A and B are shown apart, each in its own frame.
Chain A
Amino acid sequence: GQQVMQIPQYQHVQEGEDFTTYCNSSTTLSNIQWYKQRPGGHPVFLIQLVKSGEVKKQKRLTFQFGEAKKNSSLHITATQTTDVGTYFCAGTAGGTSYGKLTFGQGTILTVHP
């Protein structure tokens, strides 16, 4: 079955440093979504990428979808303590008839002030 791998599993940064998490799928994806889960909270949707090579920005967050639509990345510039949480990528395999998401295991980000 489809697998989505995410690295690193953990990332500790000093406030102000940059952070990147990478997502790789075993199969070509029709789309990829990113979610953030704060400690003790639930996943919250951040963004969806659909097109090959697509790049989207949300303030300090930059999301990329690979040309082959099998990988994606999330980059945070100048992290803040409010960025703490687990970041998940979730993809839908090409040809899937409905929105079945396969989640990566997530990257846990801690930010030291």
Chain B
Amino acid sequence: ETGVTQTPRHLVMGMTNKKSLKCEQHLGHNAMYWYKQSAKKPLELMFVYSLEERVENNSVPSRFSPECPNSSHLFLHLHTLQPEDSALYLCASSQDAGRPYEQYFGPGTRLTVT
């Protein structure tokens, strides 16, 4: 158990649906991250939040909308996704975003877009 939880673990959605992914960290960290992991591709950083402020948007399409209401919770709101968005979405946290501390990953949400 890494102290980072994600729900749901699996999600199947149509291209017209709206859904949200949830991440919670119990480590007292100040930074949280969303990554996308596709088959045969490196982990892609999507968003970085530091103390609830977004500090990085790595050219992510607007159909992905993050929300960080506090330093323990992170959401990824999804709407009008494409089949190529099917992937494992990983949340991570670290002590601080100001320095490259080790990152603790959650178990991920396996997303399938039909």
Contact = CB atoms under 8 A, between A and B. Distances in A.
Given A33-B100, A42-B2, A43-B105, A100 B94 contact: no
B42 A45 contact: no
Q: From DSSP, what is the main secondary structure of chain B's interface residues?
A: loop
Nearest to A46: B102
A44 interface: yes
A41 interface: yes
B100 A102 contact: no
B31 A42 contact: no
B105 A42 contact: yes
Given A42-B105, A43-B90, A44-B105, A101 B42 contact: no
Classify chain B: how many residues form its interface, as a range.
20 to 34
B107 to A, nearest CB: 5
A106 interface: yes
B98 to A, nearest CB: 5
Interface stretch (B43-51, B61-69, B78-86): B43-51
A97 interface: yes
Given A48-B102, A100-B56, A42 B108 contact: yes
B102 A100 contact: no
A106 B40 CA distance: 9
A92 B100 CA distance: 7
A4 interface: yes
Interface of B: 2, 31, 40-45, 48, 50, 55-56, 90, 94, 96-108
Interface of A: 4, 30-31, 33, 41-45, 48, 88, 90, 92, 96-106
